[in-house]
Structure 1
Amino acid sequence: MKEQIINKIKDYNKIIIHRHVRPDPDALGSQGGLSEILKATFPDKSIYVVGEEEPSLTFMKQMDTISDDVFKGALVIICDTANQARISDERFSKGDYIIKIDHHPNEDQYGNLIWVDTDASSVSEMIYEFYLYGREHHGFKLTDKGAELLYTGIVGDTGRFLFPNATEKTMKFAGELRNYDFDLTAVYNEMYKVSLNLARLNGYVLSHFQYIEPGVGYIYLTQEVMEQFNTTASESSLLVNTFSNVEGLKTWVFFVEEPDQIRVRLRSKGPVVNTIAAKYNGGGHPMASGATVHTIKETEQIIQDLVSACTDSK
């Protein structure tokens, strides 16, 4: 698969790299890391990264602004995006050939060439593995900035190596990336800093989340609450693990109200939640998924689904 991807990269002079909407560190890390590798290895090619900006993560990578005609005759590579509906910048379909690189379950098999590894901690880990293969067989190069992006993506999706998806290979790759020249302290400071408003909202979440047996936690953040603390929906969603260490908690869900929808963030310590997310226009990993609903009744159904999942897992 890696060889097939490299052959396609060699075939095209224009390459446009996408990732999912509302990007997290792995989305930007894999997208940006791959762009750094390709720019260093193929300096004569035009490499672009596209998608909406996430203000809290602009320290990682800022996006390119390109016109529609750039997509004509271009190779499109989409990182860390399970389904087409979540691809940032819908112009991806205007490209000549599409490659999907992902670590989520491959339920939406879009693209002309698909590389999915559900055992990988992150797509950033996959991109580094891709680089190692390319270095050995095709002389690929990785810049310090590229290493920083990939390391940041791995840290983000493993929860600073605390989640079970951080395997021996993950740790090995992270150790190798640390040999590159970038400021690790600065990376962590940028990743985990919070505004005063968000810190205060964090206190609100701890005071107002609900817990029900057999181990389900939930909170519903209204637009009024977010306005009270002067935070956005994207910022508020970052607090999804605020009460994750509560004794007895097995699954939890964050409902974040937006003008036209309710954002759903599902997390678990055991019961599978991506099957629940799939029922509500979402998906993701077995222990960490997202979805979108539009009514309070649907949020109540999700809570009951989580109760059933906890009960069934006993």
Structure 2
Amino acid sequence: MTIEFNRIMDEIKTAQTIIIHRHVRPDPDAYGSQLGLKYYLNLKFPEKNIFAVGEAESSLDFIGTFDEISDEQYNDALVIVCDTANAPRISDNRFNTGNRLIKIDHHPAVDQYGEINYVNDHASSTSEIIFDFITYFNDQTIIDASVARVLYLGIVGDTGRFLFNNTTPHTMEVASQLLKYPFNHQKELNKLGEKDPKLLPFQGYVLQHFDLNEKGFCKVKITKDILEQFDIAANEASLFVNAIADIQGLKIWVFAVDEGSEIRCRIRSKDVVINDIANEFGGGGHPNASGVSVADWAQFEVLAEALNNKL
């Protein structure tokens, strides 16, 4: 940590323009780590030009907004990518047009695409890493509620409200430190969990159309006609990946949504490593939470069989 954090800060001090990226299909940790780093650096270096870029996810708009910048602003810029294991998943492919590139992540190291790569796969989230970065430089006193709020939401999101097994004693210590800042965490958690009322009939469909076998493997298939039937988008359907998580005996599940050009499969498990299977199919992620895209439903069944065989 010491060497990498010092190297990262040296690069930040040298750069006048810093552009922060994260992964496509952003989740709360992608938002939290990216915006938390931006807000912190704005406070520490108010004279610098600091931007956060990437496509927005409407369900997370309440967390924060992003910057629109020109290609020219990448000239001599330091680019930092948060919460992204491999380069193809980075939102906004201009990330490689800057002067220097840094990766900060907590996923198992697959693609070390930066000149500096800080990866801690024992951290619950990249938001947790950003707070560790802040505390390493004794900067808790210069950050404010805006920083604490987004980092807290990032940690909550990636730990499933502290229910997942990536929640460590250190995670709870970080969360307790963040809660000392003046933001209404209950209000923010309510926003994080809220869903548009129009989506709830779809949740009912999911709860009535899962395919669970005796070994504890479950699959949910959301085809284009189902999306049309309930008038929802693919990204809205993905919000319900954990709708079946409380089923007794459930060990591994895959939630697949037809996104048109590909079928996006979100894989989750309880105490069974599944990111090795995701890697075999060109995806990746955490041991108990991964993702992969397949070309068609026939390939999805091959993926499902491989996951079932883990049991």
Q: Give the TM interval when normalised to the shorter protein.
A: over 0.9
Residue 81 (structure 2) pairs with residue 66 (structure 1): no
Q: Deviations over 1:203-252 (max 9, x none)?
A: 10010010123110011101211122121111111101111111111100
Match of 1:50 in 2: 53
Aligned pairs for 1:27-46 within 5 A: 27-46=30-49
Provide the rounded CA distance (Å) in 2 between the counterparts of 1:227 and 1:62.
29
Deviates more, 1:74-83 or 1:264-273: 264-273
Aligned pairs for 1:105-254 within 5 A: 105-135=108-138, 141-254=142-255
Of 89, 93, 96, the match for 1:90: 93
Match of 1:294 in 2: 295
Letter of the aligned partner of 1:161 in structure 2? Answer: F
Match of 2:15 in 1: 12
Provide the rounded CA distance (Å) in 2 between the counterparts of 1:131 and 1:242.
35
Letter of the aligned partner of 2:48 in structure 1? Answer: K
Per the alignment, in what secondary structure is the counterpart of residue 80 of structure 2? strand
What are the ranges of 5 or more consecutive residues in structure 1 without an aligned counterpart?
none
Normalization by structure 1: what TM-score? 0.96
Deviates more, 1:219-228 or 1:248-257: 219-228
State the percentage of identical aligned residues: 47
Q: Deviations over 1:230-277 (max 9, x none)?
A: 211111111011111111111000010011110010000122111111
Residue 263 (structure 2) pairs with residue 259 (structure 1): no
Q: Deviations over 1:122-173 (max 9, x none)?
A: 000000000001226xx87212111000000000000001111111010011
Deviates more, 1:181-190 or 1:261-270: 181-190
Letter of the aligned partner of 2:207 in structure 1? Answer: L
What are the ranges of 5 or more consecutive residues in structure 2 without an aligned counterpart?
none
Deviates more, 1:30-39 or 1:196-205: 196-205
Normalization by structure 2: what TM-score? 0.97
Provide the rounded CA distance (Å) in 2 between the counterparts of 1:281 and 1:71.
30
Letter of the aligned partner of 1:90 in structure 2? Answer: N
Deviates more, 1:298-307 or 1:27-36: 298-307
Provide the rounded CA distance (Å) in 2 between the counterparts of 1:292 and 1:134.
39
Aligned length: 308
- 1:9–1:75 contact (8 Å) kept in structure 2: yes
Letter of the aligned partner of 1:156 in structure 2? Answer: G
